[in-house]
Amino acid sequence: MLVISPYRWRATRCHNEQMTTSAPADQPVTPAKSSLAGGILPLIGVILFVIVTIIQFAGGAGAQWGQQLLANAVTYMIGWAGVGAGIAHLFFGRRISKTIGFEKSPYELEVGFADLAFGIVGLMAASYSIEFSLAVILASSIFRVGCGIGHIRSIVKERNFAINNTLILVSDFLVPAFLIFAYYTWA
């Protein structure tokens, strides 16, 4: 079958869910299929955060708006995003790997449990002290930045421009930067 990439046409053969390509090693790797849902997945925490914050603040921000904004950010950008990513990696690993441009591997299970753990403690953070939120923010940020470095390596070394190897960089770098800024500004 032929796959259209932004760089050139190339012939691709699929065998048992594994994509092999006749493109030279210096050519970008793009998955045979990508979907809008797959492209939105890395940003679901940001999308939920924006929607909930707009609805919540529509009636007026109140005196504690900064603390509420921080609580929303931790709840949605770490909490619900982590639960969603955990479920996706644990139960739909093969499909998620394809959208990242990776082969299915045991990393899906490990990343799935790590995401789920961050998600659960992110959801719990609203019930504990603000220092607990800082611990969750820092641990999640270190994990995300580390993942982001891995995605950049894949882009550079393998020319992997799959939707969830590139779009995820927003979540891997901008979300931690925003969370750390928000904590030290509004906590």
DSSP code of residue 128? S
pLDDT tens-digit series, residues 5-26: 333 223 333 333 333 333 455 5
Going by C-alpha positions, the residue among 120, 133, 137 that lies closest to residue 84 is: 120
Q: How much is the pLDDT for 17? A: 35
CA distance 49 to 175: 11
Q: How much is the pLDDT for 22? A: 37
Q: How much is the pLDDT for 35? A: 58
Q: How much is the pLDDT for 37? A: 61
Going by C-alpha positions, the residue among 71, 53, 70, 52 that lies closest to residue 61 is: 53
H/E segment holding residue 3: strand 2-4
pLDDT tens-digit series, residues 158-173: 999 998 999 899 999 9
pLDDT by residue for the chain (187 residues), tens only, comes to 333 333 322 333 333 333 333 345 555 554 444 455 666 777 889 999 999 999 988 988 788 899 999 999 999 999 999 999 999 999 988 888 998 999 888 888 999 999 999 999 999 998 999 999 999 999 999 999 999 999 999 999 999 999 899 989 999 999 999 999 999 999 8
Asked whether the whole model's pTM tops 0.75, one would answer yes
> What's the number of CA atoms in the CB half-sphere (13 Å) around residue 63?
0
Pairing of strands 18-21, 2-4: unpaired
Q: How much is the pLDDT for 60? A: 84
